[in-house]
Structure 1
Amino acid sequence: MQALSMLHVFFVLLATCLLHSFAAPHSKKNCRCLPADECWPSPSIWSAFNATINGALIKLLPPGAVCHDPYYDQEACSVAKAQWYNPSWRSDQPGAMVDPSWEGTNRTETCSVTTDRATPCGQGNVPTYAVVATTSQQISLAVRFADKYRLRLVVKNTGHEFRGKSSVPDALSIWVHHLKAITFSDNFVPAGCRGNGNTAVTVGAGAQWGEVYKAADQRGLAVVGGQNPTVGASGGYIQGGGHSALSPYKGLAADLVLQYTVVTAKGKEVTVNACQNSDLFWALRGGGGGTFGVVTSTTFTTFPTPPQIVAGITATSNSSTDFETFVGDLTAEFPRLSDAGWAGYLYYAGNNFLGAFLNLANGTSAASESLAFLTNYKRTRPSSEVNVDVQILTLPSFYAYFNLTFNMQTLPMPGSNESSPAPDPNDGSSSLVTSRLIPRDAFLQSPEKVAKAFTSMKAPSTILILHLVAGGAVARYPPDHIAAHPGWRNTLLHVVAVFPTSGTPLWEIAGPKPAAYLNEADATEDIWKQLFWGDHYDRLKKIKDKVDSKGLFFCTRCVGSDEWSEDGNCRI
């Protein structure tokens, strides 16, 4: 008996060792279920799920699949080829990203419209299935299904983003693009709150800023929102903080959110505002999209649209030395321009500059006077070879400014006699970016150092985009008002470098606690916690653990993502 017992112990130990030697690096219980795994739902389970959501489940394909066998469709392929870089068309495709490189593995297209029809079309980073949601109930059921079967889950509206968070292989996508309801209120009081109401607009998760602005303008109203019409109003833009040309006048877009409705990781839709679920309300205003739940609607403060004083500014030169002097002169003026009420978007490429300024604080004469250093630039620098042109006009509404600047004049590109539109880093073409928030003190203490950082990044392919969207009302909110990086409150300029040769000069002027706008940042940043949230990260992590303890909502370099493998499929 003793010999048998010893033999039994031996075989138990042997079996244990064998099991450990063949074990996967992660416990299956800690990993997502992928199509190659036994735990992946069977076709009958997918079919049964589809029945519960009224047939809203679709098999996703890359948008270029219609140009390849076995999915070839001549008419659809012709449309895809013609619209391939059109962000409006791309935002309407459930499997597309506005930047097509995010659809491919390692940011290399695997299903291009330019390759031969017989070339195999890879799935790339496009999710396997999508729920084409038209109701919050469908979203709730999708979240519960993903939780039950341990599926990788992503949320997508337009795919207009820098970091590829909604383009993930082997995932279930919740596509909220058709939730476009836009409702206005003259006296909105958040649920459970008391006090006087606000004029407000409630927008569905699929509404885009171009649609919201148009509807608001028809009522004589304005809303603080994004600069591109294809950007979603309730998604990553607002959940990342959201800057605007109206921000110095009213605050970041997230500062002005009154209420959300959200489907949580438990599949329950809840109301979120300052009076109920207040921690989640704080987190959703700057904590990052795709992290805490699925926002199904957002309510924003609205206000009467004021007349807009607009200045269109161009500067060109054949002399790099003179142009760098011009950059230095303009950089030194940024604090004064901000104090004079100017905001907007400015672009550098080579020895060319294009700016679209907006002013709501001053009358036309005062606004014109504050730009005298530009209109009289030849008097200030008589020997300069920089040609500066300033056009000042008054527009009746923010919507008019929005339309004007989105269709603004072209910017001569370096090394070319041709012109290109003022760039949007995510306009449907692949782009690499780096960005930083530049504190006001940097301009006051060493404007020449800031200017040097800008000019030293100049390269044949580099475009610098300067967002004069901070200061003013942004600075008047307390640093902890919302989850967005507290550095926004002392920032003057948000700078994005597109196709940079080096981001180092921006780092050197970003201050001892550098910050970046998480929606327009390098997707590979190493110090992302500090850059995106600073001192707010620890509070955000506690909220994440409370509302999504299983980590159902995952995106790379998002709150809590360092507890998962780089691909987001296994908890470590």
Structure 2
Amino acid sequence: MKPSNKTTSSKRRRILQFAVGITFVHGARKQILASAQAAPSAALARVRPGDPGWPSETQWNELSQQVGDALVKVQSPLVACLNSPDRDDCRQLFKDLKNPYFLGDEVGLTQSLGWVDAWTSMPSVYAVAARNTNDVVAAVNFARRNNLRLVVKGGGHSYQGTSNAPDSLLVWTRKMNDISLQEAFVGKGCEGHASPVRAVTVGAGALWAHVYDAVTTQAGGYVQGGGCMTVGVAGLIQSGGFGSFSKAYGLAAGSLLEAEVVTADGVVRIANACTNPDLFWGLKGGGGGSLGVVTRLTLRVHELPETFGAVNMTIKATSALTFRRLIGVMIDFYQQNLLNPHWGEQITLRHDNVLKISMVFQGLSRSEAQVVWQPFMDTVARTPDDFKVEFSPLKIVAVSARSYWAPTMFKKLLGFVSTDDRPGAPKGNVFWPGDRWDAGHVLHGYESAWLPVTLLQNDQRQTLADALFAASRHWEVSLHLNKGLAGAPAEAIAAARDTAMNPAVLDAFALLICQAAEPPAYPGIQGHEPDIALAHRNVQAIGRAMAEVRKLVPGAGSYVAESNFFNAEWQRSFWGSNYSRLLAVKNQYDPDGLFFVHHGVGSERWSADGFTRFV
């Protein structure tokens, strides 16, 4: 879209038209699907500002009296750039948008700014910046009684746009970030049925960087969380949750011991294996924002290994033919040496014939890791005319596991860790440099697929390598080898089996991802608008790449947190055979559908914007 040079109001109107247009097209498609499934009853419509049922100023004041300063009128900082995109403060804003902590601290922003043709980050009308569970209860009751669209945001990391919605009331849990360790935790109602375990209890708004600091750096334990340090704890757990070392410790949801959650009736419930076990199961991978507002979580603390480490190298093949062979060598090597609890993270295949290895390990010394990788490096070195290895003295590194997430001066100087650069920012606000790309970006397309471990059998590996090569001709392909539990310990797989995640994860060796995005952009801001034409070209290329993958794995499931916004078969793709059970939990705890997110449990009953119920 070309920017308007009229008034601020006209620019605001264009942004609203952009969002409404998306809603109309996608909503119409969902209405057709819904009507095909069942004849709609009388539609239930939530209220918007200006509607007769929208709460009066008096009613909002009553909510304010209940929650005090926690009730805030929301405005996106981006509004200031609509009329004056060349001002210094606007330039500074677009620099700040690359800081994930800045994004997380702004009630009117989300970690991604949108997805072309899907959604644009839009602020709620009001937010309850909850400081405690009582604030959440007040917000939930107010939304239910006044028929409001309710949104929940913690860390704000949602590629699907589920942590924002215009014309809504937001429950923002970011300030609920207390962290406390317990040496002998037993869940409520489990006394006499479960042995005490070491655990950490965290508020729903806590970020993984701060949890790792408390549990690992300070206390010498390990908690299975996310690879990205600025992701919110509650959102990750409810999505299932993978971290760099999930091949050893399983899903983050698999380590959940207990959750406190406010359900749609405004009741504060404890959910664990002994109390409300069906709700507990649904919270473990059933998707954030669908079953209630999680306010507190207690997670198992595992024993910390001696070392964590990383392997980084880039290999450039001199031709497409040699790149095809290199992929086969890598797949063989992975199956024989890396399909075990020691290894995780990514191998990326680029369409310029580059193979990039960005892997991590746990429980091995640097010398032990070198022994593991030596056969692969020897194979590559034998044909120097075919493969060029990028030299790095830090190709294989290992550190004390306790210092892995600590922002030491050594890691800062070498660029291994980045810090929140705002004046006065807490020292614990750290993140991996690679995660800066996600901050404020606008997605063009995103696809994922579980790859079953059967593809690594002797008679299947070459077929897999050929399919990956064919896909890489169209777009970059990443194998997230920690996001698949094949090769994990039996106890980690058993814990994952007792979650709502698609059972396909149990037998997958990797999650394959194809994605494209651009740096921070926003419709209506001159000089900073999304590149629509580029986005469409990229989506087509991703589609061609994934078509090659689906020849090999037709009907492959995908990960709810990293998936295609437009996936028409999302119920099967995200949850497989678990969806019917999840829907039953939804019906029990939220029968009227107060909690709605795009492609969340029960969302097929609603219009795409969550304002009109059809069934």
Do Structure 1 and Structure 2 share a fold, with TM-score over 0.5? yes
1:392 aligns with 2:382: no
Matched letter for residue 212 of structure 2? Y
In the TM superposition, 1:27-106 aligns within 5 A as 30-68=44-82, 77=90, 79-101=92-114, 106=118
Report how far residue 423 of structure 1 moved: 6.5
Q: Looking at CA atoms only, which structure, 1 or 2, has the larger radius of gyration?
A: 1
RMSD of aligned alpha carbons: 2.9
1:131 aligns with 2:118: no
Report the counterpart of residue 422 of structure 2 in structure 1. none
Q: Given the alignment, which residue of 474, 481, 488 partners 2:505?
A: 488
8 Å Cα contact 2:113-2:440 kept in structure 1: yes
Report how far residue 31 of structure 1 moved: 1.3
How many Å separate the matches in 1 of 2:234 and 2:153? 11
Q: Deviation above 6 Å: which 4+ runs of structure 1? A: 25-29, 72-75, 401-406
How many Å separate the matches in 1 of 2:385 and 2:117? 52
1:437 aligns with 2:454: no
> Kindly tell me: are residues 204 and 466 of structure 1, through their superposed partners in 2, closer, same or farther at Cα, counting changes over 3 Å?
same
Report the counterpart of residue 449 of structure 1 in structure 2. 463
3-state SS of paired residue (2:227): coil
Q: Deviations over 1:519-538 (max 9, x none)?
A: 01111101111110000000
Q: Deviations over 1:439-465 (max 9, x none)?
A: 111122422232233232336864535
8 Å Cα contact 1:186-1:198 kept in structure 2: yes
In the TM superposition, 1:206-225 aligns within 5 A as 206-216=205-215, 217-225=217-225
1:144 aligns with 2:159: no
Q: Given the alignment, which residue of 151, 154, 163 partners 1:154?
A: 151
Report how far residue 318 of structure 1 moved: 4.3
How many Å separate the matches in 2 of 1:494 and 1:151? 37
Report the counterpart of residue 11 of structure 2 in structure 1. none
> Kindly tell me: are residues 340 and 282 of structure 1, through their superposed partners in 2, closer, same or farther at Cα, counting changes over 3 Å?
closer
How many Å separate the matches in 2 of 1:421 and 1:185? 32
1:543 aligns with 2:556: no
Report the counterpart of residue 342 of structure 1 in structure 2. 343
Counting matched residue pairs gives 520
Report the counterpart of residue 520 of structure 1 in structure 2. 562
3-state SS of paired residue (1:339): coil
Q: Given the alignment, which residue of 172, 176, 191 partners 1:175?
A: 172
Report the counterpart of residue 356 of structure 1 in structure 2. 358
Q: Deviations over 1:192-235 (max 9, x none)?
A: 11332111111111100111111112111121111111100112
Q: Deviations over 1:275-329 (max 9, x none)?
A: 1010000000010000000000111111232112432222224433322321221
Report how far residue 380 of structure 1 moved: 4.6
How many Å separate the matches in 2 of 1:438 and 1:561? 27
3-state SS of paired residue (2:63): helix
3-state SS of paired residue (1:179): coil
> Kindly tell me: are residues 382 and 29 of structure 1, through their superposed partners in 2, closer, same or farther at Cα, counting changes over 3 Å?
closer
8 Å Cα contact 2:184-2:197 kept in structure 1: yes
Report the counterpart of residue 520 of structure 2 in structure 1. none
Report the counterpart of residue 375 of structure 1 in structure 2. 377
How many Å separate the matches in 2 of 1:422 and 1:454? 24
> Kindly tell me: are residues 370 and 436 of structure 1, through their superposed partners in 2, closer, same or farther at Cα, counting changes over 3 Å?
same
Matched letter for residue 227 of structure 2? Q
Report how far residue 377 of structure 1 moved: 2.7
How many Å separate the matches in 2 of 1:148 and 1:474? 47
Report the counterpart of residue 189 of structure 1 in structure 2. 186
8 Å Cα contact 2:75-2:123 kept in structure 1: yes
3-state SS of paired residue (2:147): coil
3-state SS of paired residue (2:68): coil
How many Å separate the matches in 2 of 1:532 and 1:134? 32
Report how far residue 409 of structure 1 moved: 10
1:532 aligns with 2:574: yes
Q: Deviations over 1:490-521 (max 9, x none)?
A: 0101111112511222323336x521111011
Unmatched 5+ stretches in structure 2: 1-38, 419-431, 517-538
3-state SS of paired residue (1:53): helix
RCO greater where, 1 or 2, for CA within 8 Å and sep 6 or more?
Answer: 2
> What TM-score, normalized to structure 2?
0.78
Matched letter for residue 290 of structure 1? G
Report how far residue 156 of structure 1 moved: 0.4
Report how far residue 27 of structure 1 moved: 7.7
Q: Deviations over 1:71-128 (max 9, x none)?
A: x9978645413212322211111111111125x98546xxxxxxxxxxxxxxx63222
> Kindly tell me: are residues 423 and 234 of structure 1, through their superposed partners in 2, closer, same or farther at Cα, counting changes over 3 Å?
closer
Matched letter for residue 209 of structure 2? G
Unmatched 5+ stretches in structure 1: 1-24, 109-123, 411-419
Report how far residue 175 of structure 1 moved: 0.7
3-state SS of paired residue (1:261): strand
Report how far residue 69 of structure 1 moved: 5.8
Q: Deviations over 1:247-287 (max 9, x none)?
A: 11111111111110101111111111101010000000010
1:426 aligns with 2:438: yes
Matched letter for residue 201 of structure 1? V
How many Å separate the matches in 1 of 2:435 and 2:181? 32
Q: Given the alignment, which residue of 509, 515, 532 partners 2:552?
A: 509
8 Å Cα contact 1:468-1:493 kept in structure 2: yes
3-state SS of paired residue (1:276): coil
3-state SS of paired residue (1:275): coil
More displaced stretch, 213-222 vs 25-34: 25-34
Report how far residue 26 of structure 1 moved: 8.0
> Kindly tell me: are residues 436 and 127 of structure 1, through their superposed partners in 2, closer, same or farther at Cα, counting changes over 3 Å?
same
Matched letter for residue 452 of structure 1? D
3-state SS of paired residue (2:94): helix
Q: Deviations over 1:26-78 (max 9, x none)?
A: 888711111132111122211221121113222211231233569x9978645
> Kindly tell me: are residues 560 and 136 of structure 1, through their superposed partners in 2, closer, same or farther at Cα, counting changes over 3 Å?
same
How many Å separate the matches in 1 of 2:434 and 2:158? 18
How many Å separate the matches in 2 of 1:210 and 1:160? 14
3-state SS of paired residue (1:81): helix
More displaced stretch, 377-386 vs 29-38: 377-386
In the TM superposition, 1:197-208 aligns within 5 A as 197-208=196-207
Report the counterpart of residue 605 of structure 2 in structure 1. 563
Report the counterpart of residue 280 of structure 1 in structure 2. 279
How many Å separate the matches in 1 of 2:278 and 2:228? 30
> Kindly tell me: are residues 532 and 399 of structure 1, through their superposed partners in 2, closer, same or farther at Cα, counting changes over 3 Å?
farther
3-state SS of paired residue (2:593): coil
> Kindly tell me: are residues 507 and 516 of structure 1, through their superposed partners in 2, closer, same or farther at Cα, counting changes over 3 Å?
same
8 Å Cα contact 2:100-2:436 kept in structure 1: no
How many Å separate the matches in 2 of 1:231 and 1:64? 22
8 Å Cα contact 2:181-2:200 kept in structure 1: yes
> Kindly tell me: are residues 125 and 27 of structure 1, through their superposed partners in 2, closer, same or farther at Cα, counting changes over 3 Å?
farther
Matched letter for residue 131 of structure 1? V
Matched letter for residue 544 of structure 1? K
More displaced stretch, 134-143 vs 47-56: 47-56
More displaced stretch, 301-310 vs 72-81: 72-81
